[in-house]
Amino acid sequence: MNRSSDHRPRSARRTRSAARLSWLVAAATLVTAHGAAAGNAPSTTEPPDSTSVDLDPDATLRIVAGSTPNQFDPCGTLNGSELSYMGAIYAPLIRSNQQTGELSPGIATDWAWSDDKLELRLTLRDGLTFQDDTPVNADTVVESLNQCIELGNQNVPGLSAITADGDQVVFTLDAPTSGLPDLLGSRLGMIASPRAREAAGSAFGSQPVGAGPYRFVNFVPGSSIELARWDGYQDAGPRPAAVASIQVSIITDPSAQVAALTGGQADFGYRLDSTAIASLQSSSDVEVFVTAGVSVTDLNIDRTRPPMDDVRVRQAISYAIDRATLADVVTNGLSDAISVQPYPPGHPFHFDDMDERYPFDPDKARELLADAGYADGLELRGVSLDGGTFVDNGVIISEQLAAVGITVTFEAKALPDATKSFYDDHEYDIFSTGMNSGPDWLTIYRRLLATSSAGNAGNVPVEGGDEVLEQLNAAYEQADIVEAIRAANEVYQEQLPIVPLYFSPINLAWSDNVVGAEAAFALNGEADYNSLGIAG
């Protein structure tokens, strides 16, 4: 019997899955906006499944992952594929539920704003240590945070200082930053041992040391990662390790993914190829889950020079793309959720009336091109990540743009080469890639709209972007946050610093012996290893 039917994101089956996600996120958002500021959210360290299934504590969990990380330092250069591992290795200052964004205690037991919202105080747990026996206290946490910020890949808007005051960590700000607790539930809040970072230097990303339930063992780039239970783990937000070790095989070939999961070589898989999911859905031995999150495919834009510095050209490209056909073909029918705003349908930060901003309209595209001075067409230089999804997006988009007079061929490159040639060397106009930031709104909208964003090639200001971010940073009540996010969406849709395409399907597959699998899906497309166990 095919047991995947309740989780397909299309037709009536999609409605049930989406309704469940919508309810979870809606409830969590209220807690995040109101309860989190006072640190009143409950701790969540329950075992991987709330049922009475006995777990095998000596088991090895074997995972197939369809993408490979570059390194494991949350403060280093990231590609999004490392978040599952980091969530197991590090304990967060504030724990963020990966499905809902709900905040709960991590290393910090509670947190509170000053009356003027320019100081956030976090009270830390007593008695914690890092995996190298360095104590986890206010002094070492402040040192770790400052090390992280000095690397230049993470920052806090309006930050004046981070200091220790007894058992408290104090963030002092020059201007309000309402999303700071959510930011501390993401990469910035994954606290690394300052002694280990100091000793390893630039090699820390391949020798990570945190205070989470699993310790790093080994990494063979492009091939495998191994984690093991850390016996010294004490409650710091994440669930305790439910298995003795986790062995991850990086497999990108869809046939090999299917063979591993159906042949007993793997217990759990995620970020699988859409053709692999199609095959697994017919298997009686594998459960399949598919839904949508905040992970999107997109065209990043270099706005430093003509023609992409003209908003009419960017809008013409957006009108020229048939997103529904693109999503259907590239995902083999797994996604029908087009993206013209950052959050998916069913999410409280998704606005249904904004979905019609860029219908497929080639005539409108030609009109905009003519207005911009390109009535006879134009030629663009394109690059894509070398993953199948991004290459396929580039092929189809090239055909659709050609129909309105835009000629572009995408050159496929591996991540390091693609990002360097696009962001640093400015060799290309558009970049077929994706974004899986969040689920916190501060991370998402800063990446899209901030002049200083790492995703902003050349750091060209987005008209209205920094101003609407100020509005977001000053919003503390739920109604104000929703209003500011709507305003941010309006700027995003009008200016198109990137051209969004469709929400990538989040997919998981697992065998009968896995416990906690449905709780493991993350809204950004990754997997929560701490939710997983093996039945005894």
Task: Please write the tens of the pLDDT for every residue from 474-533.
Answer: 999 999 999 999 999 999 999 999 999 999 888 999 999 999 998 898 878 889 999 999
Backbone phi, psi, residue 402, to 5°: -60, -30
Distance CA 530, CA 516 (A): 9
Res 18: pLDDT: 32
List, as one string, the DSSP characters of 321-333.
--HHHHHHHHTTT
Q: What percent of the chain has pLDDT over 90?
A: 73
Per-residue pLDDT tens over the stretch 70-85: 899 999 987 778 999 9
Instruction: Answer whether CATH 3.30.420.40 is correct for domain 39-246+511-534.
Output: no
Tell me what pLDDT residue 358 has.
Answer: 97
Neighbours of 472 (CB within 10 A): 24
The model's pTM: 0.85
Whether the predicted pLDDT of 48 surpasses 80 = no
- In the predicted model, what is the mean pLDDT of residues 427-441? 86
pLDDT over threshold 70, residue 21: no
pLDDT in tens, 171-216: 999 999 999 999 999 999 999 999 999 999 999 999 999 999 999 9
φ/ψ of residue 141, rounded to 5: -65, -45
Please report, in angstroms and rounded to a whole number, the separation of the first and last CA atoms in the chain. 24
The DSSP annotation for 142-165 comes to HHHHHHHHHTTS---TTEEEEEEE
Residue 39 has pLDDT above 60, yes or no: no
CATH number assigned to the domain with residue range 294-504, chosen from the 4 options 3.30.428.10, 1.20.120.1810, 3.40.50.150, 3.10.105.10:
3.10.105.10
Note the pLDDT of residue 406. 98
Residue with tokens 């026996």: 133
Tokens 């299917």 correspond to what residue? Answer: 258
The average pLDDT across 22-31 equals 33
Task: List the single range of 68-77, 163-172, 208-217, 253-262 with lowest mean pLDDT.
Answer: 68-77
Predicted pLDDT at 528: 94
- Neighbouring CB atoms inside 10 A of 93's CB total 27
Is the pLDDT at 317 greater than 50? The verdict is yes
Residue in this structure with the two tokens 């330092």, named with its chain if needed = 73
β partners of residue 361 = none
Contact predicate 447/441, CB 8 Å: no
Predicted local confidence at residue 8, as pLDDT = 31
CB atoms within 10 A of CB 249: 18
Mean pLDDT, rounded, for 37-42: 37
Helices (H), ranges, 407-440? 415-419
CB-count burial class (<10 Å; 0-12, 13-18, 19+) for 223: exposed
If you average pLDDT over every residue of the chain, what do you get? Answer: 88
Q: Where in the chain is the domain with CATH 3.10.105.10?
A: 294-504
pLDDT at 52: 67
For 495: left if phi > 0, alpha if psi spans -120 to 50, otherwise beta; the answer is alpha
The conformational region for residue 271 under phi > 0 = left, psi -120 to 50 = alpha, else beta, is: left
Residue 295: the pLDDT is 86
What residue has token string 């046939």?
Answer: 255
Decide if pLDDT at 11 tops 70: no
- Partnered with residue 502 across adjacent β-strands are 297, 338
- Please spell the DSSP secondary structure of 115-134, one letter per residue: TTSSEEEEEEPSS-B-TTS-
**pLDDT one-digit tens code per residue, 344-403:** 888 889 999 999 999 999 999 999 999 999 999 999 999 999 888 999 999 999 999 999
> Quick one: pLDDT at residue 437?
66
Q: Is the pLDDT of residue 328 over 80?
A: yes
All CATH 3.40.190.10 domain ranges of the chain, comma separated, are 39-246+511-534
| pLDDT greater than 80 at residue 436 | no
Segment among 9-23, 103-117, 394-408 with least mean pLDDT? 9-23
Q: How far is C-alpha 2 from the chain's CA centre? A: 30
- pLDDT of res. 291: 85
In the predicted structure, residue 231 carries a pLDDT above the cut 80: yes
